[in-house]
Amino acid sequence: MANWIPLWLHKLSSPPVFYRFAGTLRPWAIALALVLGLVALYGGLVLAPPDYQQGDDYRIIFIHVPCAWMSLFIYALMGIAAFIALVWRIKLAEVVAMASAPIGAAFTFITLVTGSLWGERMWGTWWTWDARLTSELVLLFLYLGVIALYHSFEDRRQGARTAAFLALIGIVNVPIVHFSVNWWNTLHQGSTIRLLGPSTIAPSMIWPLLTMMIATKCYYVASLFGRARADLLALESGKDWVRQIAEGEVRR
Amino acid sequence: MSGSLQSFFAMGGYAAYVWPAYGVFFVVLLIDWLAPQWRQRRVLRELRGRLARQEARKERPHRNSAAST
């Protein structure tokens, strides 16, 4: 492998370099998220036909499923960052792991609420202690646990490492959520979109879903960068580069 | 046009379920978006306050030392 890649990564893990890098990329990420999100909403709410069994109620899918994917994706990413933070003690990995937790919690919360709104009409209940729903709720508690543990320490870095440990243990829940619909007999339907083999969903419904998935990914990048920048400023507030930024904003 | 717009908002009778779902989606993400921005502004404001106090202390060392003794 070309050796400029690890070199570039090493450089990027320095807080001032990452701060600038994230600041440049963040507006593009949020712009892309907004454009793709609007396209996906138009496709999902206007262009896609009503479902032959669920009528228009199924349109909740266009936010429910992308948010559910994000809740797992962000947890996996938080787990990887937590692992790097614990093994190599890289400050930026701690920041990324801790900044991911609230975003993941937000997506998990949206998944649960939208699923509940959907379930009320389709299953006749807001909530049931079904394997998929319960494991997703556990995911929310894991996120909240990571956030609470992080904030319960006076020393931010010590808090981050302790919370990273919890995040790492909790990663066993990710495959449980994903495979719960296959492992247990659940009320929740199985997946209709498959990477291998044909999906069992109409193309007019699948493209807004996939577009929204990319939009939520872009949103995550933008939100993560915003949180990481604020955290880096707070963590490094004694350093020269942060002082320069603070003074620069006065003059502006 | 107004008829089709009305039927769009009616969501085939599921308006009370579809629109709150989308509302939650946007409100939660908006809060998630604004929270770090407020935090960043607060961090910088506190830092500027601290720098200003340090600067003031440097400019009047005598009076400060007199006051502290």
The Cα A82–Cα B11 span in angstroms is: 43
With CA atoms as reference, report the closest residue to A177 among A111, A119, A106: A111
A95 within a domain of the structure (yes/no): yes
Q: Name the residue facing A229 among B18, B29, B40 (closest C-beta).
A: B40
- Smallest Cβ distance to A57: which of B18, B33, B46? B18
pLDDT of amino acid A169? 94
**Chain B contacts in chain A segment 95-114 (CB below 8 A):** 99, 102-103, 106, 109-110, 113-114
Distance, in Å, from the CA atom of A194 to the CA atom of A199, rounded to the nearest integer, reads 5
- Across the interface, whether the CB atoms of B37 and A110 are under 8 A apart is answered no
Q: Reply yes or no on whether the pLDDT at A43 is more than 80.
A: yes
CB nearest A226 (choices: B21, B25, B37): B37
Q: What domain range includes position A192? A: 60-232
* CB-based burial label for B36 (10 Å; 0-12, 13-18, 19+): buried
Distances (CA, A) of A178 to A73, A132, A138: 11, 8, 13
List Cβ<8 Å contacts ≥24 apart for B23-26. Answer: B24/A110, B24/A113, B24/A114, B25/A63, B25/A67, B25/A110, B25/A114
Confidence of residue B22 (pLDDT cuts 50, 70, 90): very high
The mean per-residue pLDDT over the stretch A220-225 comes to 96
Q: Do B43 and A234 touch (CB under 8 A)?
A: yes
Q: What is the mean pLDDT of residues A151-179?
A: 92
CA distance A243 to A111: 40
What pLDDT is recorded for position A31? Answer: 96
Domain count, chain A: 1
Token representation of residue A171: 């990663």
Inter-CA distances, A99 with A29, A196, B19, B31, B45, Å? 16, 33, 29, 14, 21
Write the pLDDT tens digit of every residue in A47-91: 888 887 787 888 899 999 999 999 999 999 999 999 999 999 889
CB neighbour list of residue A165: distance below 8 Å, 6 or more residues apart: A82, A86
Domain extents for chain B? 20-68
**Residue A238 in domain:** no
What single DSSP character describes residue A189? -
Q: Which residue in B18, B29, B31 is closest to A59 by CB distance?
A: B18
Q: Is the pLDDT of residue A195 over 70?
A: no
Q: Average pLDDT in the A150-169 region?
A: 93
Lowest mean pLDDT among A98-112, A146-160, B35-49, B52-66: B52-66
Q: Is B24 on the interface with A (CB under 8 A)?
A: yes
* Domain assignment of residue A78, yes or no: yes
What's the confidence (pLDDT) of residue A56?
82
Q: Is residue A249 part of a domain?
A: no
Task: Flag whether pLDDT at B15 surpasses 60.
Answer: yes
Q: What are phi and psi for residue A141, nearest 5 degrees?
A: -65, -35
Is the Cβ pair A63, B25 closer than 8 Å? yes
* Partners of A55 in beta bridges: A51
pLDDT of residue A119: 86
User: What's the number of CA atoms in the CB half-sphere (13 Å) around residue A149?
Assistant: 19
The rounded distance, in Å, linking the Cα atoms of A127 and B12 is 23
Residues of A in contact with B22 (CB under 8 A): 63
H/E stretch holding A155: none
